[in-house]
Amino acid sequence: MRPALYDKSEVAAHFGRAAQRYKQLANVQKHTGEALLRLASTHVSEQNQGTVLDLGCGPAIFADALSARAQRYVGVDIATPMLAQAQRACPSLKFVLADMEALPFHASMATLIYSNLAVQWANSLQALCAEAWRVLAPGGSFVFSTVLDDSLMPLAQLRARYGQMTGRVGAGTNAHKSLDEWQSALTAAGFSIQLAQSEAVVGEFDDVATLIRSVSGIGADYQATPTRSLSRSELLFLTQEYEAYRNQGFLPLTYNVGFVIAYKSIQ
């Protein structure tokens, strides 16, 4: 069965509604973005020239750090309210409304493409990697983090268990790709893989309501397939069952995050 496709207008709407509170709630995104910057500093030469393209820039959390790496910074996002927040935060920088699978840029315009926890919203890995290859200059790098399969645990498992118990289907999480699938798509597009690793990134929360809000509050709760709403009885079930996972006073939500650095050869 072919996986359901994301309705990009709905993706934009979900993230747009979350724009004003995104910075306050995006703790996992801040962690992975900072880790990605460190990897880029280690594995990608500091050029201080050309253009850095920030795909899925959101409210420009990392714009200052990225703009320091190049002569020109361009932030790209699918949600207009996110770009409005970004422009207010960084009035001197350029931001563009676009889908990362169909970028409005000429070939070889960027020396570095950076993307933090955004590329998982692509409907086609092949299309996304082909676009990154097209707009990246020879010798440039595509540096990104992405949500991989087996993420949002144990929330996803508990919601699935509740559905089995009650016969209410339609819960769960989006079907994220594996690290191997990403590497295959990048290689097919022409990239050389410099680094590809995964890491369990764990968010810690006081209660189930706050944990769920960490996903819905930043707009990342959009589902490609129809999903049931979270009822009071299911919330009670999650509240009770999640206690078995409490560790050092906190409830965990674990993301399986991939970190990738791909290189476009000069030849």
pTM above 0.85, yes or no: yes
Token duo for residue 267: 């030849």
Stretch 207-222: mean pLDDT:
77
Token duo for residue 145: 């983090």
What pairing do the DSSP bridges indicate for beta strands 136-147 and 251-263?
antiparallel
Q: Is the per-residue pLDDT at 24 higher than 50?
A: yes
Q: To which H or E segment does residue 135 belong?
A: helix 125-135
CA 48 to chain centre: 25
- Rounded CA gap, 177 and 193, in Å? 17
- pLDDT of 195: 96
CATH number of this structure's domain 8-150+175-202+254-263: 3.40.50.150
- Rounded CA gap, 136 and 97, in Å? 18
Pick the range with the lowest mean pLDDT from 49-58, 64-73, 209-218. Answer: 209-218
The angle subtended at Cα 124 by Cα 121 and Cα 129, nearest 5°, is 95
Q: Omega into 154 within 30° of 0, i.e. cis?
A: yes
% of the chain residues with pLDDT over 90: 66
85 neighbors 105 (Cβ within 8 angstroms): no
Domain boundaries, the chain: 8-150+175-202+254-263
- Rounded CA gap, 205 and 208, in Å? 7
Stretch 147-159: mean pLDDT:
91
